[in-house]
Every structure is written in structure tokens, then in C-alpha cells.
């Protein structure tokens, strides 16, 4: 069972979730799950359609926003920003380790919300993610 690591009071990240984790996410108060892991990235991972069915069965909204590891694009960040703005409650994101989700969130916070970089870096660190290497890109937009 994966740990939900909070970056903010309304957003958490996790490593690869399983269909059974959706009920726990709903019980923990999340209203939306965002899957950032492309289908077939790794043998044995649950397909996005299976995760969607499990999320919806648990009463959660589900979004599939695949981000290729090591190739997070500006468009990914902007699409994620739109997803967050349309959310009506706490959001849980997942990928293989939670790092990709954290990077996506950090860039979104820096570029579209103009949050102070030190606050973004500190929130990620508190959740267990070192995003120091992402700082130059956070400055670029």
C-alpha cells in the first residue's frame, strides 16, 4: 500500500497505485485521481482503463495525463494546470515513484501560480522529493 505524500493541503502524490488503493483515496478525502504514468511503461502495471474503473467505482473523478519519464513538456504542465483549476476538492496524483508528479506540480506552481521557488522546493522536500535539479527550469518560464 503506497503512502500519499502531501505537497499541499489539497494535493498529494504517490508511487504506482493499484486499483484497491482507490477506495482508500476516497476514504482519505480525495475527490480526483490523476494518473501521470503512460500505459505499458512497465510490465505488470495496471492499465489506465482499469484504474479509471476502480476510481469511478470509489466515487472519484479520474484523469489520465501520461507524462513520459524524463520528457516532461511545457504542454504537460499547462494541461495539468487546467486539471487542477477544474478540480473541486483534494487531488491525488501518481506515477512510478511520485517524482514525475512532483516535478509536474513544481513547474505548474512556478510558471502559472508564480509561487516562490523556495516554498515549492521546501514543500517537495518535506514530502520526500529533492527537486533542486529542477530549479533552473522553474526559472525559465
For 80-94, how does the pLDDT look when each residue is reduced to its tens digit (9 = 90+)? 999 999 999 999 999
- The whole-chain average pLDDT of the chain stands at 96
In 3D, which of 43, 12, 34, 44 has the Cα closest to residue 128?
12
Q: Output DSSP code: residue 29.
A: T
Residue 1 has pLDDT above 70, yes or no: no
Q: Band the pLDDT of 70: cuts 50, 70, 90.
A: confident
Angle between helices 99-112 and 74-85 (to 10 degrees): 80
The confidence score (pLDDT) of residue 141 equals: 67
The confidence score (pLDDT) of residue 75 equals: 96
In 3D, which of 53, 104, 55, 58 has the Cα closest to residue 83?
104
The confidence score (pLDDT) of residue 122 equals: 97
Residue 132 has pLDDT above 80, yes or no: yes
Q: What is the pLDDT of residues 76-131, one digit of tens each?
A: 999 999 999 999 999 999 999 999 999 999 999 999 999 999 999 999 999 999 99
In words, the CATH class of domain 5-140 is alpha beta
Amino acid at each position: 500500500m503506497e503512502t500519499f505524500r502531501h505537497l499541499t493541503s489539497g494535493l498529494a502524490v504517490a508511487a504506482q497505485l493499484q486499483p484497491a488503493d482507490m477506495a482508500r483515496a476516497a476514504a482519505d478525502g480525495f475527490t480526483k485521481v490523476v494518473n501521470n504514468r503512460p500505459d505499458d511503461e512497465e510490465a505488470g502495471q495496471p492499465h489506465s482503463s482499469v484504474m479509471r474503473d476502480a476510481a469511478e467505482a470509489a466515487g472519484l473523478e479520474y484523469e489520465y495525463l501520461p507524462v513520459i519519464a524524463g520528457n516532461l513538456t511545457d504542454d504537460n504542465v499547462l494541461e495539468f494546470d487546467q486539471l487542477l483549476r477544474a478540480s473541486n476538492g483534494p487531488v491525488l496524483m501518481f506515477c512510478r515513484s511520485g517524482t514525475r508528479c512532483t516535478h509536474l506540480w513544481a513547474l505548474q506552481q512556478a510558471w502559472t501560480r508564480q509561487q516562490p521557488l523556495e516554498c515549492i522546493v521546501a514543500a517537495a522536500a518535506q514530502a520526500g522529493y529533492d527537486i533542486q535539479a529542477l530549479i533552473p527550469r522553474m526559472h525559465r518560464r
